[in-house]
Chains A and B, each alone.
Chain A
Amino acid sequence: MEQSRGVYKLENGGNENNYNPMQDMVLTRHGFVRGKEQSFLKNPKDKPFIGIIGVPPKEVMEELIKEDAVILSLDMYKVDRLITEPTDNILPKAYCAQIKRIIANILSVTDFWNEDVMDSVLVGRNPISEIIIEDSEICRCNEMGFVADFIENELKIKLRRVKNNDIERKGDFICKSGIPLDEKFGKIAGYFYRDIERKKPFKPEYVKPKCAFWGTPPWGDFSIANYFPDETHIYGWTRCVENLTPGDLKLELEFDPDVPTVFFSQSFCPKAGLASYLANKHPRGMFIDMDIGLTRSTVAKLTAFLQLNKVI
């Protein structure tokens, strides 16, 4: 709150009684600061630079392709070293690291526009001109509504809220293939773009599973995938993404009861409830969660589970 000559500086003709102390504050990656110019929000180049959160419906993505937009997935773009700092005085400590990451990603792109932090593909491109958020609660989480409000109210970036009701399943060849698990996650993200760019679908061969991974991609630390054998099938929301049906709850609930399965969720994520519930229903299931990164204890728990089930 800024004080000048003993009186509060007020905007919009307000008075002290309805003064909002936050109206002079601007959010940066260092948290809220007073009165910083938001020049980074301008987009001087002609190509739209679109941030997406979640999996927007096909029609929206096709529209972006037509516009020749540069698309940045704010879920996946990683700024691990920045993750806690930008959100320290905004969000609670015990809170979903994925939401923290999304906000940190937006802030790092806009406020720290340099080659060091940008994905190589995107170096030199424009700051975000619009963010499209898929905020169907069933696809993602209740917090997407908060993230959307936050982008609109605090970051002042143009926002489009969309809902993905696509129900046509494209198949899950990658999920049930024998390529390494970390590559599976990467190719599923790539498949999403291949489909909208009408490239030939990637359909690797089926392998018999030794175990399964259920859940969202482990954005916080993909090294968890290194502990699984290549013959790991993927279930849960990641499988829904390969099918291009992120809101397909029926598909998300499926698992293979004959295969030892690790039910994974981000810590403090509402999907943890579903993961834990299914892990308890599964004859040989185990629930694990992960906050910002993989801990020694989680690795020990995971490897013991895989060894005792004779998976590795």
Chain B
Amino acid sequence: MILLDAGTTYAKILDTETDERTVKRVSDLEKTFRADVGTGHNINRFANRSVNEIIALANAGKSLIKDNSFTLLDIGSRDAKYVVFENGSFIHSDWNTECGAFTGQAIEILGNYLNIDYSKIEPQKEFITATCGLLGMGHVFDLVAAGVEPEIAAARLIKGVCISMYRFARKPKKIYLTGGLVRNRLFVESMPCETVILDRFTLLEGVKEYALNMNGA
């Protein structure tokens, strides 16, 4: 079975028979490509059946995380979403669907534009508070124009995004992170709480759970 997480920018593909995992840009997926089941913002273009992204995230959390109580946050290029479980039961979820989003994409664009390597930048204490990634980029350019090093300005934006995400997820003591931004070391180290990193195929575990239940039903 071919499972797909078709996000805004990247597609994560899992072949359940070979366990082969691939990542490619959504724009590079062939128009004829069809997964059996999938999730993500672009899924209706590329899969026969789809599962709600928060349901996939919740399923993935229950399957992958041993703790009964946890907060799992998925930060993609377009949006962020989280689920909270306590004693094995669902408690909360949220999804910053439009306004306040585009943080991941903005961070990637900013890095390319300023030609900076996030893995070589130290986390900052000061931070930029911004409603969304695009507004945040404007603040970064203002700081650079005021004489702040581009790396430091970008790191302050990332710190601001981390604090915003931490508050969005209701300030947990420990947070399980997934999504494209977990590959950004600066982002992970800027989070203001204990973090546990799950890989970017996490949502596909949730899709697999859904597919198994679907076939079993």
Q: How many residues of B contact A (CB 8 A)?
A: 17
Contact A295 B53 (CB under 8 A): no
In the complex, the answer to whether B55 meets A308 with C-beta atoms within 8 Å is yes
Contact yes or no, A308 B97, CB < 8 A? no
Q: Is the interface of B mostly helix, strand, loop or mixed?
A: mixed
Q: Once the chains bind, are A300 and B83 in contact (CB under 8 Å)?
A: no
Give the shortest distance, in Å, between A107 (CB) and chain B (any CB): 28
Interface centre among A284, A298, A304, A305 (most CB of B within 10 A): A304
Within the complex, which residue of A284, A295, A301 is in contact with B54, where a contact is CB–CB below 8 Å? A301
- Is B91 part of the binding interface, using a Cβ–Cβ cutoff of 8 Å? yes
Query: How far is B53's CA from A257's CA once the two chains are assembled, in angstroms?
Result: 26
Instruction: Please give me the residue from chain B that is nearest to A289 by CB atom.
Output: B99
A297 touches B54 (CB 8 A): no
Contacts of B170 in A (CB 8 A): 280
Tell me the complex Cα distance, A307–B55, Å: 8
The answer to whether A301 touches B98, judged by C-beta atoms less than 8 angstroms apart, is no
Say whether B79 faces chain A, with CB atoms less than 8 Å apart: yes
Question: Which residues on the A side are within 8 Å of B149 (C-beta)?
Answer: none
- Residues of chain B within 8 A (CB-CB) of A305 are 54, 93
Evaluate whether A297 and B83 lie within 8 angstroms (CB atoms) in the complex, with A286-B92, A308-B54, A308-B90 already known. Answer: no
Chain B nearest Cβ from A281, distance in angstroms: 12
Please, how many residues of chain A have a CB less than 8 angstroms from a CB on the other chain? Answer: 17
Tell me if B95 counts as interface (CB < 8 A to partner A).
yes
Q: In the complex, which residues 265-312 of chain A have their Cβ closer than 8 Å to any Cβ of chain B?
A: 267, 280, 283-284, 286-287, 295, 297-298, 300-301, 303-305, 307-309
A51 to B1, CA, bound (A): 60
Q: Which residues of B contact A287 (CB under 8 A)?
A: 94
B101 to chain A, nearest CB (A): 9
Tell which of A301, A303, A308 touches B58, judged by Cβ atoms closer than 8 Å. Answer: A308
How many Å lie between the Cα of A307 and that of B93 in the bound state? 11
Q: Which of A280, A283, A286, A305 has the most CB of B within 10 A?
A: A305
Least Cβ distance of A30 to chain B in Å? Answer: 29
Name the residue of chain A whose CB is nearest to the CB of B81: A301
Q: How far is the CA of A287 from the CA of B93 in the complex (A)?
A: 10
Identify B83's interface contact among A283, A303, A308, CB under 8 A. Answer: A308
1/0 contact string of B5-24 vs chain A (CB within 8 Å) = 00000000000000000000
Contact of A308 with B93 in the complex, beta carbons under 8 Å: yes
Inter-subunit contact B54/A304 (CB<8 Å): yes
Q: Which of B147-191 contact A (CB under 8 A)?
A: 170
Q: Does B52 contact A (CB under 8 A)?
A: yes
Residues from chain A with a CB closer than 8 A to the CB of B93 are 286, 301, 304-305, 308
A307 close to B52 (CB less than 8 A): yes
Q: Kindly provide the distance from the CB of A264 to the nearest chain B CB, expressed in whole angstroms.
A: 14
Min CB distance, A215 to chain B, in Å? 17
Nearest to B91 among chain A residues (CB) is A284
Chain B residues within an 8 Å CB radius of A283: 91
Q: How far apart sit A284 and B93, CA to CA, in the bound complex (Å)?
A: 9
CA distance A308 to B89 in the complex (A): 9
> Whole-angstrom distance between the alpha carbons of A280 and B53 in the complex?
22
* Distance from B41 Cβ to chain A, minimum over Cβ atoms (Å): 8
Q: How many Å lie between the Cα of A63 and that of B3 in the bound state? A: 65
- Whether B97 and A309, one on each chain, are in contact in the complex, defined by CB atoms closer than 8 angstroms, is no
State the Cβ distance, A287 to closest chain B Cβ, in Å.
8
Contact A295 B98 (CB under 8 A): yes
Task: Given A295-B98, A297-B98, decide whether A284 and B52 contact each other with a Cβ distance below 8 A.
Answer: no
Least CB distance from A94 to B in Å reads 9
Most buried by B among A287, A295, A298, A308: A308
CA distance A283 to B90 in the complex (A): 11
The one of A267, A286, A300, A307 in contact with B53, judged by C-beta atoms closer than 8 angstroms, is: A300
Q: Given A295-B97, A308-B83 in contact, is the A303-B52 Cβ separation under 8 Å? A: yes
CB contacts under 8 Å to A, within B47-63, are 52-55, 58
Q: Which residues of A contact B (CB under 8 A)?
A: 267, 280, 283-284, 286-287, 295, 297-298, 300-301, 303-305, 307-309
Q: List 6 A-B contacts (CB under 8 A).
A: A280-B170, A297-B98, A298-B97, A304-B55, A304-B95, A309-B90
List the 7 closest pairs (A to B, CB-CB), nearest first. A297-B97, A304-B54, A308-B90, A301-B95, A304-B52, A304-B55, A300-B52
- Assuming A300-B95, A301-B54, what are 5 further A-B pairs, CB within 8 angstroms? A295-B97, A300-B53, A305-B54, A308-B83, A308-B93
